[in-house]
Amino acid sequence: MNKPYYPTLEAKASEKGITKKSIAETLKVTQKTLSCKFSGKYDFGLREAKKIHDVFFPDIPFLELFRHE
């Protein structure tokens, strides 16, 4: 299995029970598009990343949440 491109984002979503479906709905994108963003195939736009942070993970530093490998 591939390592997550955004390991903190993936881990924190899992810990909090936040589904990719709910993130996709919040961003108004398809689940397929969101999966491509989570895998690093597509980039998150700044507005998308900020919305994910503000809505779901306001307690986690922004740069930590979107650190990628």
User: Is residue 1 predicted with pLDDT exceeding 60?
Assistant: no
Sequence-distant (6+) residues with CB within 8 A of 29 are: 37, 48
Could you tell me if 6 and 66 are in contact, meaning their C-beta atoms sit under 8 angstroms apart? yes
Q: Is the pTM of this model over 0.85?
A: yes
Pull the structure tokens for residue 48.
Answer: 């998308």
Place of tokens 């930590």: 64
Residue 68: pLDDT band (50, 70, 90) is: confident
pLDDT, one tens digit per residue, over 6-53 is: 999 999 999 999 999 999 999 999 999 999 999 999 999 999 999 999
| Cα 8 to Cα 64: distance, rounded to the nearest angstrom | 7
| Cα 61 to Cα 20: distance, rounded to the nearest angstrom | 20
